[in-house]
Structure 1
C-alpha cells in the first residue's frame, strides 16, 4: 500500500500569530528528514516569500489558485530544495471564493482535498499555511487536512479567536472531514517580560490542558529576521529555530511519527 502524506494545517483567524513563520520553519525542519510540500493559502504570499526569497509575482499563473482551479497540483510545484517543495500564492488568490461560487460545480469544501489527491503519494508531509480569516481558503485547508495546529499568541484578541477557531475545526470534523484531528494549540509568548502575556499563556493551559503543546514559542531577534534573511545560508538559524525544533519533535509524536534522532 502506497504511503500518503500527512496533511497539517496551521491556523487561527488572527493576524500576527506566527502562522507563516511557523509553517515555513516547520516545513524546513521536516525537510531535513522527510519529503515536504508547503502550500501557501494566504493571498499575501508571505510563506512563498519566506521559502523562496523571491517576489510573489514571479509565481503569477503558477500558484495554488491555478492548482485549485485545475484540481491538480502537478505543474504548479516549485522546488525549493530536493526535499522541500512549494505551491506558492500571490494576490489573485483573493478571487478564490468568487471562482468557487461562480464557476465550480461540486462540493465547494473539498476542492483542495481533491487537488491534493494528485500528489499525496509523493510526499511524507504537506504543510498548509492559512490566512488570518475563517473563509473558504481556511475551510478548504481544514477539509483537506489530517491534523490542524491552532496558533495562539499571548494577546486578548487571539484568546477571543482561539475558541471560535477550535469550534470551526469541530464543525469541519462533524460536517466535512471526520478524519481531521486537532494536533494541539501552539502558544507563543510575545514578550516574556510582560505579566499579562504570561497570564494568557497560563490561562490557555488551564482551559485546554493537554491540548496545548508543552513547547512555548518565544520570539527572539533571530526569528524575527527570518523574513529578511530567509531559511538558507542563514548563520542565525540555530538561534532562530531553537524552540521550533522542540515543537517539531512534539508534533511528530502527536501525529504518530517515529521521531528520528
Structure 2
C-alpha cells in the first residue's frame, strides 16, 4: 500500500509546490507515484503537466472528492507519474462540505473525505504526494487526516517561523483527534540564501527548537530550480541541475517514512 506524504505549512511562497513536485518526479524514476494537487491555485498541476489549470476543468480533485472516486480523475504524466489536478473551483470545497456533504452524510466525518477517496487506489502506487494550500482549512486538514507522513516546509523568514509553530500544533491536533498514525517526517528548510546572515540565524534556530525534526539536508536557492515552473520536467535541458539539491533530502525522507 502506497505511502501518503503531505507537504505543508500555512504560508505562501514557502517552497511547498516546488518541493512536492520535485520529490514526486524523482520518486517516479524508480517508483509508481501519484501527485495530488489540493490547492485551488493549481500550481502543482501547472508544474507537473505544463498545462493551464483550466484544461482540466470538470476533471479535478474537486470532482473526485464529491464522487469519492479517485481513479476516474487520474491523469497520466509518465508511465510512473500520475496526477489528480486542481483548479480554481476547488476553493468551493468547504462550502460543498457544509452545505451538501454533511446533510447527505450526517454520521460521517468530513475531515476524512480525501482519505476515503484515496483508499481505493492506494494499492496502485508506491507513493502519493499531496500539495496543500497556504492555509489551515478543510483541504489541509483532509490532507493530514489522509497521510502517513507530513513534511513541514520552512523558508527562512520570521513569518514562516511563526507559521511553522502553528502548523506543528495543527499536526499534533490531527494526531490526537483524527489520525494517530500520522508521522511528522521532518522539517525541510528551503530557499535558503547563504549570503544572508538572518537566513543562517533562522535555520539554526529551527534546528535548535525542533531538535531531531529538521532534515539535515537544506535546500539552497538555485536559479535552475526556480525556473522549473517555466521549463517543466519533460524537456528541460537544465533538469539535472534543477533537481540536484533534492537528492540527499529524498534519501533522508525514504529512511524516515
Q: Say which SS state the counterpart of residue 103 (structure 1) adopts.
A: helix
What does 1:78-227 align with in structure 2 at a 5 Å threshold?
78-104=75-101, 105=105, 106-227=108-229
Regions of 4+ moved over 6 Å: none
What does 1:62-73 align with in structure 2 at a 5 Å threshold?
62-73=59-70
Q: How much has 1:231 moved relative to structure 2?
A: 1.1
Equivalent-residue separation in structure 2 for 1:190 and 1:179 (angstroms): 31
Structure 2 residues not aligned, in runs of 5+: none
Equivalent-residue separation in structure 2 for 1:29 and 1:189 (angstroms): 19
Structure 1 residues not aligned, in runs of 5+: 256-261
Q: How much has 1:177 moved relative to structure 2?
A: 0.5
Question: Which of residues 31, 36, 55 is equivalent to 1:39?
Answer: 36
Deviation readout 1:202-254 (Å, 9 max, x if unpaired): 00011111100000010111001000000112111121111111111110010
TM-score normalised by L of structure 1: 0.95
Q: How much has 1:124 moved relative to structure 2?
A: 0.4
Give the equivalent residue in structure 2 for 1:243.
245
Deviation readout 1:144-172 (Å, 9 max, x if unpaired): 00000000000000000101100000000
Equivalent-residue separation in structure 1 for 2:34 and 2:23 (angstroms): 11
Give the equivalent residue in structure 1 for 2:8.
11
Q: Number of aligned pairs?
A: 252
Determine if contact 1:189/1:198 at 8 Å carries over to the other structure: no
Give the equivalent residue in structure 1 for 2:25.
28
Q: Say which SS state the counterpart of residue 241 (structure 1) adopts.
A: helix
Q: Say which SS state the counterpart of residue 111 (structure 2) adopts.
A: coil
Q: Does 1:58 align with 2:55?
A: yes
Deviation readout 1:185-205 (Å, 9 max, x if unpaired): 001243210000110000001
TM-score normalised by L of structure 2: 0.97
Equivalent-residue separation in structure 1 for 2:191 and 2:3 (angstroms): 28
Q: Say which SS state the counterpart of residue 54 (structure 1) adopts.
A: coil
Give the equivalent residue in structure 2 for 1:229.
231
Structure with greater helix percent: 2
Determine if contact 1:189/1:201 at 8 Å carries over to the other structure: no
Say what the alpha-carbon RMSD is for the aligned residues. 0.7
